[in-house]
Structure 1
Amino acid sequence: MTKPETPKPFTPLSDLAAALVLLSRLPVPASGPVGAGAVWAYPLAGVVLGALAALLAWAAMTLGLPPVLAAGLVLVALVVMTGAMHEDGLADVADGFWGGWTRERRLEIMKDSRMGAYGTIALVLSLGLRWQALALVLAQGTWGPLIAAAALSRAAMPAVMAALPHARDTGLSHSVGRASPARALAAALIGAAIALACLPPLQALAGLLVAALATLALAALARRKIAGQTGDVLGATQQVAEIAILLVLAA
């Protein structure tokens, strides 16, 4: 008779460290393997990244920089802190989804380290939209949107991990594992709570709505194009959700 598995203890700090190790290049020591059990902490990792970005924005504007330049510094900092992994995922998805005619060819293109025309266009447009949206948000003199957007966009990733199977048997997403619905729901609830804490109620609801729509759209597209998800799909989900949230909050 097989013994039931002993439930693993809940270790929130270890899970947060694991989330930061996976989603950033911050010098955080990991106390264990980076697995799917830590996906609930992805929005908390977003809080850390968003708070650091907000601190930089505050310092830049306190020193007299206009919002557009402060936004540029924030964008550079976010790219550096994450190692551009989400931006790379967006570019790979654009290249693969629109550069290949079959599922196998799309996955092959996404794995190629070379960037094509679709990826270049997607990257340029996404960086431009983020820069302008960040500038408009900073011009309002508030820092909460930076934290909320970083948290909500990373709360979207576990939802896709739970909803779609792995599209390939290798890669970062496969090594992390598939998120359970319960942990994906926990990530969504934590992201929503962070948004409500950082934003006025109507703005928080608007951010939640566009984040959900962006997540559903990316998940549906990934299901149709490659019948699953990869690390690139998760990165693209984060980027599209963040852009959508910032655009709504900048309005």
Structure 2
Amino acid sequence: MERDGRRDPEPAFPGAGLAYDLAACLRFYSRLPVPALPGEGDPHAVPDFRAVPRMLPLAGLILAVPGALVLLVAWGLGLGPFLAATLAIAIGVAITGALHEDGLADVADGFGGGTTPERRLEIMRDSRIGAYGGVALVLSLALRIGAFATLLDRTGADAALALILAAILSRTAALAPMVLLAPARPGGAGAAVGRPERPALLVATGLAVLLALVCVAAGLPFGGAALMLGMATAAALAMTALARASIGGQTGDVIGACQQVAEIAALLGLVAAIPA
């Protein structure tokens, strides 16, 4: 199939299209060394986000597994909830190259320090971190570490399921700005990857819900998982509305910030749903 002058790679094996999209997600969202698959086009090309996001929930699961395992091992070794949660977050940041954290810091600096859309975008492009960005990073890390430490105290090993589900739901919810807003910069990263199409969104949503049900079957409370889903969605929509009001669209930084606030909201929802 050819779209906008770009020809999709011919499938080399059954399910190749899904495998290509999963590989593209893993390369885009992490620093994992994902090799080129048989029959795949240029693995280093900018992914076409019109279809690729359908595998984003599964990519989120894969990216979360190392952190979940570290959380369980550290907890099992008796390091305590705070150290176990901190190590798990550190592994996740290393795997993604702080991709989402970087977006959060840039958005905090831009939205907090700029007075016009143009000035905010200019600040967001600056690689230096300011006071707003620094505070946002500290709060993000503290809230996530605190949430996982609390969940370890209250649920034990089920906290690893919470880590995995939060990663799945937050990345899926972070598609909201891409779907609802036009790119704020015509030549920026948000414009380069394209807009998710309806079939891809339906698959991604269905897959995220299915994986949430798997986590429930594995031990997470249904009410807590449902609250995680609702809180992640609400946080993503709130960030989308803030981006529309602040810069009139979305950027790659906005999407990264959206993932962070959605993950934090999901974890706080689960903590609130589980009695102390």
Paired residue for 1:151?
A: 168
Counterpart among 136, 139, 147 of residue 122 in structure 1: 136
**Conservation of the 8 A alpha-carbon contact between 2:112 and 2:132:** yes
SS in 2 for 1:40: helix
Aligned-residue offset at 1:58: 1.3
Paired residue for 1:18?
A: 24
SS in 2 for 1:11: helix
C-alpha RMSD of the superposition: 2.0
Q: 2:243 is aligned with what amino acid? A: A
Whether 1:248 aligns to 2:248 is no
Aligned residue pairs total 249
Whether 1:80 aligns to 2:97 is no
State the identity %.
51
Paired residue for 1:229?
A: 250
**1:197-245 C-alpha deviation (Å, 9 max, x unpaired):** 1132211210111011001101111111111110000000000000111
SS in 1 for 2:31: coil
Structure 1: 5+ residue runs without aligned partners? Answer: none
Counterpart among 207, 213, 217 of residue 196 in structure 1: 213
**Conservation of the 8 A alpha-carbon contact between 1:207 and 1:245:** yes
4+ residue stretches of structure 1 with deviation over 3 A?
3-10, 30-33
Structure-1 separation of matches of 2:241 and 2:253: 15
Which shifted more, 81-90 or 194-203? 194-203
Q: 2:144 is aligned with what amino acid? A: R
Aligned-residue offset at 1:66: 0.8
Aligned-residue offset at 1:6: 10
Which shifted more, 84-93 or 241-250? 241-250
1:221–1:6 distance in 2 versus 1, CA, 3 Å: closer
Paired residue for 2:145?
A: 131
Q: 2:166 is aligned with what amino acid? A: A
1:79–1:146 distance in 2 versus 1, CA, 3 Å: same
1:4–1:51 distance in 2 versus 1, CA, 3 Å: closer
Aligned-residue offset at 1:173: 2.2
Q: Which has the higher helix share?
A: 1
TM-score by length of 1: 0.93
Q: 2:52 is aligned with what amino acid? A: A
Counterpart among 28, 44, 52 of residue 38 in structure 1: 52
Structure-1 separation of matches of 2:206 and 2:244: 24
Which shifted more, 182-191 or 136-145? 182-191
1:102–1:244 distance in 2 versus 1, CA, 3 Å: same
Q: 2:257 is aligned with what amino acid? A: A
SS in 1 for 2:128: coil
**Conservation of the 8 A alpha-carbon contact between 2:176 and 2:237:** no
1:56–1:100 distance in 2 versus 1, CA, 3 Å: same
Structure-1 separation of matches of 2:165 and 2:226: 11
Paired residue for 1:60?
A: 74
Aligned-residue offset at 1:192: 1.9
Aligned-residue offset at 1:247: 1.3
Structure-2 separation of matches of 1:42 and 1:160: 15
Q: 1:165 is aligned with what amino acid? A: A
Which shifted more, 201-210 or 228-237? 201-210
**Conservation of the 8 A alpha-carbon contact between 1:159 and 1:184:** no
Aligned-residue offset at 1:134: 1.2
Structure-1 separation of matches of 2:265 and 2:193: 26
**Conservation of the 8 A alpha-carbon contact between 2:174 and 2:262:** no
TM-score by length of 2: 0.85
SS in 1 for 2:175: helix
Counterpart among 212, 226, 233 of residue 233 in structure 2: 212
Structure 2: 5+ residue runs without aligned partners? Answer: none
Counterpart among 179, 185, 192 of residue 202 in structure 2: 185
Structure-2 separation of matches of 1:69 and 1:248: 22
